[in-house]
Chain A
Amino acid sequence: MKVLIPSALRSYTESSHAEANGATLAEVLLDLDRQYPGIHFRMIDEQEKVRRHIRIFINGEQVNALSQPLNATDDVVIVQALSGG
């Protein structure tokens, strides 16, 4: 499926979009890391929590659980939350 990558992480992907596969959000993010090593830890901490300033949307709905099931046609958007004014 297609994943929109925020600007802060495009140093990994060198593109605004990436293709990744998986049956859950966790699997998709790990697939991204296989392709772009290091990108996962910048978004997800070692306790498997989405980092404070990262938001992930599936088909327009914000998702917090990495166990969220996904379909191959789902639209995944990763957003770097612009906090701090």
Chain B
Amino acid sequence: MTMTRKAKKPAAQRKTTAARAKRAVVLVATRKGAWIYHGDAARKTWRVDGPHFLGHTISHLVLDPRDKRTLLAAAKTGHLGPTVFRSTDMGKTWKEAAQPPAFAKAPEGQTGRAVDHTFWLTPGHASEPNVWFAGTSPQGLFRSADGGITWAEFSTINDDPQYREWMGTAQDGTPDGPKMHSIIIDPRDARHMYFAMSGGGVHETLDGGTTWRVLINGMEVVQGFGLDGTNPTCHDPHCLRMSPSNPDRIYQQNHCGIYRIDRPSDTWERIGKTMPKKVGDVGFPLVVHPRDDNTAWVFPMDGNSVWPRTSPDGKPAVYVTRNGGKTWQRQDAGMPKQQGWWTVKRQCMTGDTRDPVGLYFGTTSGDLWMSRDEGRKWSCIARYLPEIYAVEAAEL
């Protein structure tokens, strides 16, 4: 038998290797292009790389955590059709998908759907390298098996009459169209997936997309309009996040509050009722702590009257729970104390895996904020970008 032992690296080399291993990258998708921010090991200084795709609307920019080098960007312009761009050198060069997400051509005499934009990108399970999923507007679910080069409709839901009814039409969704989002793969089982539709409820498959079931028990609907709470069409989940440390726990920011579900329960519990009444529990983004399933952050939004979609009372703040939603604490140190009328969209808040966790959010007014201490203090690391549509953090 032969035994081998790795030679110990010199201290200086170890330090360099450790610093490289922890290099932070923040991927910012905006209404007018994409930017990549490269941080130092301490996350204190940032080097900007961009714009990429100036003039393109980038809905999502995501790095594959499995190879740490494949970047996908969901893009369109105001005048051209949608596409997906791919880079394998951190954005030095980009290549367009050979077959972007597209619905099947409708039979002669029937009206088919056309993808307006790809809204959401999710890398597949660790056991399935090169698999990606995409959610579109109008709502559709797509899959790539070759790292985003070619895409095909996934599952049967895109043409399922029941799902088509739940997906609604352009009039039923968000202002720029209904959106399929929050595509989540259970890290323990590639066949176990969730997705959410805004509007159209939360859905789950246990068999890799062959069959789906609705997961809306406990979710409330807007009161006063006679909406049927048992109908998925009436539900508008804004953002789902699975706890990285406990895949059985999922948090949800909904049009009607903040929720949590602990599987195998099939009923959501509204945990946002403990938020301050003046702030409420309407919002879009949500982040879960990478190692503590009791800790989550939200960014509340004014959802009163005509839905101004601003920070409540012009006073932006993150709220954190450290006990699964029993109580919430305001975290606004460093943010404007008044006259701050921006808000944060559903893909625009994220965290890294450091200790303490770094949190990042991008605003509708084009500013990129971060906290190096789990939300206790905030600082603005980039200003004057276009309206921010998505923020993702990665570590190289």
Contact = CB atoms under 8 A, between A and B. Distances in A.
Interface of A: 8-9, 37-38, 41-49, 51, 53-54, 80-84
Interface in B23-56: none
21 contacts: A8-B79, A8-B80, A38-B96, A38-B97, A41-B102, A42-B80, A42-B81, A42-B83, A43-B80, A46-B103, A46-B105, A46-B112, A47-B105, A47-B114, A51-B79, A51-B81, A53-B78, A54-B80, A81-B79, A83-B78, A84-B78
A15 to B, nearest CB: 17
Given A37-B98, A41-B83, A46-B103, A8 B77 contact: yes
Contacts of B104: 46
Contacts of A53: 78-80
Nearest to B97: A38
A48 B113 CA distance: 11
Nearest to B101: A46
Nearest to A9: B80
Interface in B80-125: 80-81, 83, 96-98, 100, 102-106, 111-115
Contact of A37 (B77, B79, B96, B115): B96
A81 B77 CA distance: 12
Contact of B106 (A8, A47, A83, A84): A47
A46 to B, nearest CB: 4
Contacts of A47: 103, 105-106, 111-114
Secondary structure call for the B interface: loop
A9 B77 CA distance: 11
Q: Which 10 A-B pairs have the closest CB atoms?
A: A45-B114, A53-B79, A46-B102, A42-B80, A47-B112, A38-B96, A42-B81, A80-B79, A51-B81, A47-B114
- Which of B79, B80, B100, B102 counts the most chain A CB atoms within 10 A? B79
Contacts of A81: 79
Contacts of B97: 38
Given A47-B105, A54-B79, 6 more contacts: A38-B98, A42-B81, A46-B114, A47-B103, A80-B79, A81-B79
Contacts of A41: 81, 83, 100, 102
Contacts of B98: 37-38
B80 A48 contact: no
Nearest to B76: A42
Interface in B112-154: 112-115
Nearest to B79: A53
B151 to A, nearest CB: 11
A77 B115 CA distance: 25
A59 B115 CA distance: 31
Given A37-B98, A38-B96, A41-B100, A48 B105 contact: yes
Nearest to B104: A46
Contacts of B103: 46-47
B84 to A, nearest CB: 10
- Of listed A42, A49, A51, A82, residue having the most chain B CB within 10 A: A42
B111 to A, nearest CB: 8
Nearest to B99: A41
Nearest to A40: B81
A45 B81 contact: yes
Nearest to B53: A11
Contacts of A51: 79-81
Nearest to A12: B96
A45 B101 CA distance: 11
Nearest to A6: B79
A46 B77 CA distance: 17
